[in-house]
Each structure stands twice: as C-alpha cells, then as structure tokens.
Chain A
Amino acid sequence: MNAQIALLLGQDGITNGAIYALLALSILLVFTVTRILLIPQGEFVTYGALTMASLQAGQPTALVWLLLALTLLDGALDLLASIRRPHAWRLPRKSLVKIAYAAAMVGLVNNLPLAQLPMALQALLTLALVVPLGPLIYRLAFQPIASASSLVLLIVSIAVHVSLVGMGLLLFGPEGARTRPFSEQGLELGPVALNSQTLWIIAASLGLIIGLFVFFERTLYGKALRATAVNRMGARLMGISPEMAGKSTFVLAALIGTLSGILIAPITTLYFDSGFIISLKGFVGAIMGGLVSYPVAALGALAVGLIEAFSMFWASAYKEVIVFTLIIPFLLWRSLTSRHVEEHE
C-alpha cells in the first residue's frame, strides 16, 4: 500500500465513518431517552436515499401513501382515545392538521414536476416525506408499550425493522438506486483529490453535530430531552411528558437518518435492505461508547468507517466479519469492567 492508496482509503473511511457517527449519535439519543434500541434507524437512511432517487427520476413516490396511511391510523387512535376521555377534545384538531399535511404531500408529490426541481427542493421534499414517519412509528409501535421491559421494546424494534424492510421492497422495488452528486467539482489538496460529496458529507455531519450540541446544551427542549434520559421519573414530575420526549427523539432520529441517506445516495448504491448493515455499524460505534458517551460513540463510529475501508483493501471478503467481530473485544471489556446489576425485568 502506498500513501496514495492510504489517503484514498482514509477518505472513504472518513466519509462512511461520518455517516456511521451520525447514526451512532441518533441511536444513542433514542436509547437514552426511550430505552429503545432503534434497529430501524437504517431504514430511514434507505427510505431517504430511495425517495430522493425516485424524486429525481420524476416518479411520484409511493412512500407518500404510507405516510397518509400511518397518519390516518394515528388519527383514528387519537380519536378513540379522546372518546374514552371526555375532557381532551384538543387532540382531534391536532390529528386533522396532521392528516391535512399528509394529504398535501400526496397532492404535491403527484403534481409537482419532480425531476425538474432544484436538488435542494428535492432534498427538502424527501425530508418532508420521510421524517414524519419517525414520530408516527413511535406513536403506533412504541408509545402504547413505553413502560414495557427493554426486551419487549427490542423485539418491537426488530419487528418494526422487519416490516419496514418489506415495505421498502414494496415501495421502491428490488433495484438499487443512486442519486446525482450535489456538485461536480472536487477539491485538489496537494496530492489528494477530494471528492466533492465527501466534503459535503463531512460538512453536513459536522454541521448536524454542532446543531445537536447547541440544541441539547442551550435550549430548554433539548435540556428536557436530556433530563428524560438522565431521570425519567424526575422529568415526568417536571411535566415533561414521556410521549413528547419519545416523539421528539424519533423526529431527530428520522431526520438524521433521512439526511444521511440523502448524503450518501450519490456515492453508494443503496437497496431496500441496505439499511440494517449500515445502522449496525452505527450500533458498533454506540456500543464502543458504552451506550452512554456521545463523543466516544462518534469517534468509535468513525473508527468503524476507517477499519472497514482498510479491511476492504487487505481482506475484502472478510470486511463484514472484521467489522462485526470488532465489537467482541469491546463487549469483553464491558463485561469485565461493569459490575453486576440485578435486572428488574
């Protein structure tokens, strides 16, 4: 291996690593606030990428019908709940707004000249379509069992993942898709030719990480989410509702996932079932951070990207084996250092 190749691999590794880092942060966020290990994190990535691709191809994506269906289901459940509790008539109005939004999306997707839109609008539309799925999924699958054991939450998480993958096949078909790069020109940095998409990814990831940091450190809502993660009962007593916290984290998770999908779609061909492996690498990072530390998780995920890139060079067939076996030493370290705690479930 010469320096040229090393730099190239490094660039690859950092690009993927940045995405894994975003996913690791999102997984960690969802886990600490809701105790859910968000296995479907990767589906937001593929949905984002494939929706973007179908918009660029000028196809009115079928995803919008999924959005409408879930919104209607959510509205029906809210209606049911408000009938049972006479004093809460505020809810159905909220549901109407949500249904109107979904209906508007159906209208937009079917009438806009999708392929001709500027790329920024296409990305925006993709976000507008995919991100609402996050809180809807929380509402439908997790909210009714928010206080169940973490094993039950994990099972439901896996079940949602399985369903979403099947749904992805139905909505986007079995073909992989790639989107147009955001811009054509690259950057010459001495001997290295930096791919423009790489720069976009690194810049966007950094921007997002800074944005998250500001949100959690400076805003009351961000602090409220952190508070829920630190002490659920304490947060409830402050009037921070677990439902609100759950939905908010799922909005963030869907946003991060979809954005990651849009970012990597120009450099990687994604299929309906690519999400799982991608999010698992985020999990490897999150586990390195002990499922508590954000910076360590991000660094860990970055390391996963680099290791993956370099093992591609040395032992390409064993790439996945190496990445997933990597987790074992960390698990071992955890198991040796963590003291035994009695589970209450």
Chain B
Amino acid sequence: MKPRYLILGLIALLGLAPLVLAPYYVTLLNYIGLYALVVLGLVLLTGVGGMTSFGQAAFVGLGAYTTAWLTTAEQLPTWLQWASASPWLTLLVGVALTVTVALMLGALTLRLSGHYLPLGTIAWGLSLYYLFGTLEPLGGHTGVGGLPAISLGGISLDQGEKMFYLIWLVLGAAMLITHNLLDSREGRAIRALKGGQLMAESMGVNTFRSKMVIFVIAALFAAVSGWLYAHTQRFVNPTPFGLGMGIDYLFMALIGGVASIWGALLGAGILTVLKEWLQDWLPHLLGDGGNYETIVFGILIVLLMHCAPGGLTPWLGKWFKGRTRTAPLPQAQALPRRAAVEHGTRILQANQVTKRYGGLVANNQMNLHIDAGEILALIGPNGAGKSTLFNLLSGVDRPTSGDIHFKGLPLNGKTSRHVARLGMSRTFQHVKLLPGMSVLENAALGAHLRGHQGVIAASLNLDRAEEQQLLAEARYQLERVGLGDALQEDAASLALGQQRILEIARALCADPCLLLLDEPAAGLRLQEKQALTALLKRLRAEGMAILLVEHDMDFVMGLVDRVVVMEFGQPIAQGLPEEVQNNPAVLEAYLGGADA
C-alpha cells in the first residue's frame, strides 16, 4: 500500500472515531493527540538534533497556565485585559511567552555539551514546576478551574468529542510543518546537528542558531499542547507538568523511535494505552498501592535500549519511511556563482603560523601560499602536523601565533563559518558525512550558503523553487565527480573512497575559490584516481586554487604544480615535484633515520 493512501485512510478513520467510539476511547485518543504533539517536538529536538530534554512538560505547563490565568483571573493588569476575551488571544500570549522563555533558556543551556544539557533541562523543568505550585495567582497545588471552552467558527468546543477534531487537526498541521521543515535547506542543517556540527560549521551553517530553532519549535509544540489540554480539561493543576511527565514524554519518543515523525504518534499511542491497561491490571496483581505501572515502564525502556535503541518505528518497515525525496527538476535555474578570481592571484598566504597544544608544537612557523589556478600538495609523514595546519587554515582551530590571509583578508579570529562564507571549502581526513541522509542531500548541505529561505518558508513549503535549485546544483556536482548514479543512496552505504569523493562534491557545491582536500585519493581504485586527477585539473583550469594533503605519491606527482614537505610541524622542502622527490631530507623523513 502506498503511504499516501495509508495516511488518507488514517485521517478518515480519525474523522469517524468520535461518532462511533465510546467517550472513554475518545478521551484516550485526545490524550494521545496531546501527548504526540509534545513528543513531536522531542523528536525534532532529541531524535533529529541530538539534544535531550526532560523539561518539555514544563513548557506544556507554561502554555496551560498562561491561558488558565488569563481566562479566569478576576483582576488582570490593564495591559493584558484584551487577552482574556478569547482563548485564541491567550494562545497568542502563550506563544509569545513560550518563545521568550525558550529563547532565554536556550541561550543559557544550548551551548552546553554532552551531559550538561539534559541536567540543565531537569533543573529548569523542576524550577518551573515548583513555580506553578507556589505562585499565588496560579492556585497553588489545587490549581485553577472554570476555564472557558474554545469556540471555533461559532461552535463551542465544550465536549471531548468536539475538542478531538481540534487536537488532531493541530497535531496533523504540526506533523506537516515538521516534515516540510526537515525536507529543506534549514532541515539539512538541523539534521547535521547530531554528530556533524564541526562539518556543518565548515559548510557555513550556524549550528547554534539551528539548535535554537528546534528548541523553540519543540517548546511551541509543547505550549500549544498545554493550551489545548487546559481547554479540554477546563482545569489545570501542577501535577501533569512535573518532571515525571517530562520523563514520560521522552519515553514516548524513545518507544516510537526518536528520529521519526510517525514515531511520535506511535510512541504516544503505545505508552498511553499501555498505561491505561497496566493501571487496570496491576492492582489485581500487586494490590491497590499506587502507580506500579512505572516499574513496568522502567524495565520496558531498559529492555528497549538494550535490544532496539532506535525505537519501534524502524521495525514497522517501509510503511512509515516517508516518501522518497523529490528528485531535482532538470529545468531549475542555476544558482548565481561567485565572481571568478583571475589566474595567479594570491589566494592564501600563511605567515609564521605556529600552533602549540600544551608543550607540544604541532605547527612551527609554517609559511605557505597558494595562487588561483594552482594545485599545491602538502606531504609529510604521519604526525607531521598537516591536519593541524588544515584546521588552522579553515578556521576550525586558531593558531597560537602567526597570521593567515585569505584573498587579502586576515583570518585572525574568524570561525570556520566565516571562512566558508569567504569562499574556502574543505574535505575531512576522517570522512564526515551524515549517515541516513541520501548522497544528494549530503552534497546539498555544501550549498547551504547559496540558499536564503528560512525556517518559516520551509515549514510552509514556500521554499520549493530555491530548494530545486540547490538540489540541482548538488546533482550537477555529484555528476561531475562521478556519483551521478548514486544520488538517492544512503551516504553511509558508499565505499570509503566514494565517500571521500562525495565530500569533494559537497565542497564544490559551495562554489569555492579555494578547495582544501584532505587525502582525497585514499581508498580509490586506479581508474577512480585517474578520474579524480582529471577533475582536479579541470577545476584548476577554471581558476580554482587547490591545496591537498596526500600520501599517494603517484597521484600527487602527476597532478600538482608545487609540493611542500612537512616534518615536525615545519616545512623541510618545497618546490616542483621532481625536485622534492630527489631531496635527501625528504628521503630521510619518509624512509626513516638513515644511519642509526
């Protein structure tokens, strides 16, 4: 069955549900919808972005309490009185408040690495929860009651059966928005957050901004869920916004499969139904004591993490895999290109560049220059400092002293993102691709800076024209490097040599004037090396400057204009390939101590 029909069938079933189901089941479905909306945010945040949050329940509370207070308080500050007129206005206030709070909390915690982020979310999640319980106007632990019903087009949604439609409509819209967003330029940047941040920054992605975007979106989904919840229950108290619920949301995401949009629905459904079922059955087994289902949940999650850390969705096969990405239209207009640099212009100049790590000198007073239309090879034994130099030149790392000029501009203190914007693009010694994304999408990430459509355009699918251009550019570059047959394959399924070639295509998508290649020929077969040689020669003829690190001497000697040999962090020889080959110092460095 095609996914499209499946979805249509699902929508039809949902539309009929309140008409045929008993109220109990409609309520259950309402809860599933409300939870799934929060979990969807977590899928984006944790599954796609790799950031774990235990605090989503607090954002739900923020949405719920905002509307509860505004619609029931007897005395509102005058500047807020307009909002009490309708729940739709309080939704607006709730959204604004949530964005503000999320921006603040995000600024505080999103830069945190590793464990600090989840711990941070626990901290503010708890603080907000305790605030809900202690603030006087919010009714303390007893809560706020008597919320009005939402009215939509003159119909008052005063019953669960009516709220059902609104809840699932909102959820559907949120799923569509999430899907659109992930399938876009911004989406690729977001998907690079998990394990590809260094690479993404080198492609010009502002990773902090991407993190903030999904953090705010996840908070918004949670707050809207809270708003819906408040007006379904018509009553709020702090309990459903505590850390326990925050943990439950995360569990739902994990059960469904933390990286899948449909997983949000699946996880919310399974956990909610399971909870109901266990709450019915466990008292028979263990007696009426309380929430024994938590014992089972905990054990289930432990087992899930042992056996299927990816959640259940991947097990359900192709039905939930989502549609194949659209192939680029052939008639997409070409992207504008950078102004060409004249042959022989000095592109890069490194003066006396030194890098120390503690007592270790990785680069010692390195000098280097490259002109447009020139290929320079950097060779030397392992540990000579070549990769360190690459990182310094591309802004990934900063030199301890010395300076680097790129197209005449000093790069001091510039980040790799800025350097990318100026027109330098690179590949990595240890291939940095995004597994699970297609070859085409991986390459398209390189063209990030050549697109301009933002998050909102992407969410509403208004970015298609530009997206086609970006994908067309990616396809053009992939065809150019010889990967035209593998566009839709998973990047991780390529052989290592092919992955290196894909990195070159990605770098070319940025339309650079200087290309840094870290061991491009490693793992290639002879024919592929010859094809790569031909490509690099063509790029040189177009005026591009290329700096490459390589161990394969056959490859280097037949291709490059000049060679710089490094050992112990400094150049020991440079010149034409033939000169360098016969240099005794080079022979010594490569074959080892001549006379011991």
Contacts and interface: CB of A to CB of B under 8 A. Distances in A.
B50 interface: yes
Contact of B109 (A144, A155, A156, A331): A331
Indicate the member of B46, B247, B305 with the most A CB atoms within 10 Å.
B305
Contact of B120 (A291, A327, A342): A327
Interface string B150-188: 000000000000000000000000000000000000000
B134 to A, nearest CB: 4
Nearest to A141: B302
A-B pairs, top 6 by smallest CB distance, nearest first, are A163-B298, A166-B294, A166-B295, A159-B301, A335-B111, A162-B298
Interface string A318-345: 1011001101100110111010111111
Nearest to B115: A37
A169 B291 contact: yes
B298 A164 contact: yes
Contacts of A189: none
A275 to B, nearest CB: 13
B172 to A, nearest CB: 28
B291 A166 contact: yes
B293 interface: yes
Interface stretch (B124-132, B215-223, B401-409): B124-132
Interface string B287-308: 0011111111111111001100
Contacts, number: 144
A169 B119 contact: no
Contacts of A325: 123-124, 127
Contacts of B296: 166
A150 interface: yes
Given A331-B116, A345-B195, A162 B294 contact: yes
Nearest to A172: B289
B115 A154 contact: yes
Interface string A153-191: 011101111111111011001100000000000000000
B339 interface: no
Nearest to B117: A331
A166 B113 contact: no
B195 A169 contact: no
A235 to B, nearest CB: 21
Interface of B: 46, 50, 52, 54, 108-109, 111-116, 118-120, 122-124, 126-127, 130-131, 134, 195, 197-198, 243, 247, 250-251, 254, 286, 289-302, 305-306, 309
Interface in A1-40: 31, 37
Nearest to A345: B195
Given A154-B52, A155-B254, A166 B292 contact: yes
Majority SS at the chain A contact face = helix
A280 B309 CA distance: 26
B286 A170 contact: yes
Given A37-B119, A148-B309, A324-B123, A169 B292 contact: yes
Contact of B305 (A152, A163, A321, A336): A152
Contacts of A166: 291-296, 298
B123 A327 contact: yes
Given A156-B305, A325-B127, 10 more contacts: A37-B115, A159-B251, A162-B247, A283-B119, A324-B124, A328-B108, A328-B124, A331-B123, A340-B197, A345-B50
A237 interface: no
A263 to B, nearest CB: 25
A342 B298 contact: no
Given A145-B306, A318-B130, A325-B127, A174 B297 contact: no
Indicate the member of A158, A287, A336, A342 with the most B CB atoms within 10 Å.
A158
Contact of B113 (A173, A320, A343): A343
A71 B126 CA distance: 35
A342 to B, nearest CB: 4
A320 B197 CA distance: 35
Given A156-B305, A165-B294, A341 B126 contact: no
Contacts of A141: 302
B144 to A, nearest CB: 18
Nearest to A291: B115
A151 interface: yes
A332 B254 CA distance: 29
A317 interface: yes
Nearest to B287: A170
B123 A328 contact: yes
Contact of A320 (B130, B290, B298): B130
Contacts of B293: 166
A342 B126 contact: no
Interface string A70-110: 00000000000000000000000000000000000000000
B302 A160 contact: yes
A324 B295 contact: no
Interface of A: 31, 37, 141, 144-145, 148, 150-152, 154-156, 158-167, 169-170, 173-174, 276, 280, 283-284, 287, 291, 317-318, 320-321, 324-325, 327-328, 331-332, 334-336, 338, 340-345
Contacts of B254: 155
Contacts of A321: 127, 130-131, 134
A314 B123 CA distance: 21
A335 B108 contact: yes
Contacts of A148: 305, 309
Contacts of A345: 50, 195
Given A159-B302, A163-B299, A343 B116 contact: no
B127 A342 contact: no
A16 to B, nearest CB: 17
A135 to B, nearest CB: 16
B197 A287 contact: no
B112 A334 contact: yes
A169 B289 contact: yes
Nearest to B396: A342
Contacts of B46: 151
A77 to B, nearest CB: 12
Contact of B112 (A161, A317, A335): A335
A24 to B, nearest CB: 13
Contacts of B298: 159-164, 166
B130 A158 contact: no
A324 B122 CA distance: 9
A290 B109 CA distance: 15
Given A169-B289, A341-B113, A163 B295 contact: yes
A297 to B, nearest CB: 13
B113 A338 contact: yes
A285 B305 CA distance: 29
A169 B116 CA distance: 30
A237 B43 CA distance: 39
B115 A158 contact: no
Nearest to B244: A162
A205 B37 CA distance: 47
A40 to B, nearest CB: 10
Nearest to A329: B108
B418 to A, nearest CB: 15
A148 B310 CA distance: 12
Contact of B290 (A152, A169, A327): A169
Contacts of A343: 50, 113-114, 195, 197
Nearest to B112: A335
